[in-house]
Amino acid sequence: MTPRRRSLRRQFHQFFLALLLALSLLTVLSTAGTLVVYYRATVADRTDEVRRRFETALRETADSLLNRTRILSDIARIEAMGLDARPVREIQVQTLGWLKRDGLRVNGRGDRAYWERHGLQAGAIQRAFSGVPTAQLYLVETGAPVLLGATPLEGPDGVHEVVVTTLPLDQEWLEILALRAGGEVALFGINGEFYSSSLTRTAALQKTSPEVLAAGDGGTVQVDGVRYALRAFPLHVGQRRFGSYAVLWPVDELLALSARLAMWPLGAVAVALTLFFVLYRRVISATTDEIDALTAWAREFSPDDPRPPPDLARVEELGVLSQAFTGLVQDLDGALEEVAVKNLALADANATLAARVDAKTRELEEQRRLLDSVLSGMSQAVFLLEADHRVSYANPAARELFGDADGEELYALCCSEAAALPRETEVVRLGRTFLVSLTPLGSGGRLIWVAQDVTLRRTLEQQLQQSQRLESVGRLAGGVAHDFNNVLGAIVPCVDILRRRTSDQKSLSYLETIESAAGRAADVVRQLLTFSRSGEFRPLPLELNAAVAGALKLLRPGLKGVVLEWLPGTGVPLVRADETQIQQVVINVAINAVDAMEGKGTLQVATEVTPEGWALLAIEDTGPGIAEYQREKIFDPFFTTKAPGKGTGLGLSIVYGVVERHGGRVRVATPRGSGARFEIELPPMGRDDAGSRVPAVSRGTVLLVDDEPLLLDGLAEALAGAGYQVLACASGAEALEQFGRSIGAIDAAVIDLRMPRMSGVQVARALRGRRPTLPVVFMSGFVDEHRDELRAFGDVPLLPKPFAPSQLVQVLQTIFHTA
């Protein structure tokens, strides 16, 4: 049975309809799935963001409450000791004002019996009696939650009283916290009982079951006609779980946001389907119409009455067929007999020739694909120039780098007509450097033109050369600094000695002038050494205003007419940072700003305190500013908007690395006027970074070693005036000889690091070899060249020259106190 045939047009239409229905169904299903996924992702993102902000705000509130309670406890301790409390009275008034402003209440101070009578049995109070200041959540007798802070009031015999302050966690407080967190918040107890909420009406929240709170992802709840998505989290203050808190977000807002996000893929699919339908119908109509015409001609064709086929021009392949059929019809009568005679021989010849042609074609095609693959994968630009310098081939890299380049122009870039080939040269085009080679191809005058981008290589070579020059300058600066600091180190002790020996006011004023000039000279040396150091990261407690002011001293000579405004803030917290790297940050950003303003404008440098207590450094200029499309790249290495040779593109990437290494943040802000503003935030120094003062203790015998006679004499007399016995030595060999004679009487050694024949570290090792427990203090006018030796020797005090004799005395007192 012959199968039923269908027309090509009908098959196309049926296939297209089925495909359209399948794609529409798939679009509906994917849209619904996308909406569900976006809704869940939106709920998770919003509630997680609110949770992080709420927990941060609660933790900061507890820390603030405990710190303010500590202040009251410290003031009470001063009063209990019978000391004059008037200097701290203003602090007490300010602290009480803070408490009142923030809605906190001072419960007072008292012993255990006092707090038992007042019904406060919180564990925080018991821990405070054991000497541990504590903040915790607590339920008062009315069942309302409060945040309680308790700090011990220590006396000579221990803790007898505790100072307590509380903060009610009521609706007003939660409303403020909810504004900071960006969502609604509710508090629940361990067993699911409702405490308080930032919402005004809470009847529905009071019915929330413990199972919903325990489930973590929660569900939905309707409050005052509004449905909220609810997620619950455990509530901790310190190590103790207090209960749960729930984050609520309006479901309608979440659904609206999810729907907006889901509309994008739906719209894209709809547009794609529409375009597909238009293109598909266009192709089908063009193809099927001409196929129908050709089919009708074929059905009616007769050798007895041959008619030419229709003229088909819309579809190329069908037009070719139509023209071929026309030729066949015209030659049909004359060719039938000839074809019949030669058909057999021609068939054999055609078979043999076709096999050989196919084999050769495959071979040539394979070679062509291999060559094209090799040239397409090359990063170098490759052009094939004919004898008349016309471009006959260009690989993808060549089209990307040079576009539709002219052959004559390419040839002229490399050499002149009289130049010998092959030839290689460097050319600069569109701000990039290329290594270009021109090589003959065969003897027909064709040329291979190859260009390799060497911009990055040349930039790195220039940076390496610049780095080597800076290293040489740094070494020279280090040597000069050592000798100069030795001279200053001799001046400072002598000034100190002369001050103690004279009471003439005019002479004292001259001595102050000398000491001030020596200090300024030492500052200049330290600033020069800032750029000769190897980059070792040494974070220390740092006053940001002082570090920035030091950097601006170096910057002022190169301002080129730019007005500098320095606005140091008050109350800026100490930060733990490497002063050299912080000054490098200031100078890098400021130099970029000065270059942008081209010698005219205002550069403003300011410090202040952020709302979260961090130190903020802001550098703002009145230049042309930074374009939006460049902001996301300005911290990338080697990215620069300056002309070639005017910048390396490393300044801001170094700034970003230094700030990130210090745990800080850097961002680019748009000022109210024109220009650019860089804001650098550094975390404040923690309590554990603060040092403790060491009391003055007994004197001893000090071995003092330095090859600078003036410094040696000045320090020896200053130490003797402070009550120490001094054995002064001008070299390492003399120090070892003196130590051998007085090995049991020497209590500490103060040694200069840089001395001829034997360095300070070598002398210290020799002394420690004879007496391993001998305390050692190093001093130097330039430390960098000895860093590796010092690190290998161990942790010992180091005094950079010049220094006041009182500093050395304080270090010796610390050593003797520890011993």
Alpha-helical segments (H) within 301-395: 316-377
Closest CA to 593 of 644, 655, 532: 655
The DSSP-derived string for 144-161 is -EEEEEEEEEEETTEEEE
Question: What pLDDT was estimated at residue 223?
Answer: 74
Tell the residue number behind the tokens 């974070």, with chain if given. Answer: 539
Q: What tokens appear for 671 in the block?
A: 């000022």
| Pairing mode, strands 184-188 and 240-250 | antiparallel
Closest CA to 510 of 488, 524, 495: 495
Question: What pLDDT was estimated at residue 642?
Answer: 64
Question: What pLDDT was estimated at residue 706?
Answer: 92
Q: What tokens appear for 457 in the block?
A: 């290589």
- Average pLDDT across each block of 10 residues of the chain; the chain has 819 residues. List them in order: 59 74 76 68 71 76 77 73 63 62 70 77 76 76 73 78 81 73 74 73 65 61 75 71 75 71 69 74 69 74 68 64 68 61 76 86 83 75 81 80 76 64 74 80 80 76 62 61 67 75 77 72 60 57 88 80 90 87 87 84 92 93 80 67 57 80 86 82 71 47 89 86 90 90 86 88 90 89 70 81 82 76
Q: Give how far Cα 14 sits from Cα of 11, 273, 733, 745, Å.
A: 5, 16, 105, 110
| Pairing mode, strands 602-609 and 563-567 | parallel
Question: What pLDDT was estimated at residue 473?
Answer: 58
Overall pTM surpassing 0.85 (yes/no): no
Question: What pLDDT was estimated at residue 482?
Answer: 62
Q: Which residues contact 512 (CB under 8 A, 6 or more apart)?
A: none
Closest CA to 722 of 798, 629, 810: 810
Alpha-carbon Rg for the chain, nearest whole angstrom, is 43
CB 214 within 8 A of CB 226: no
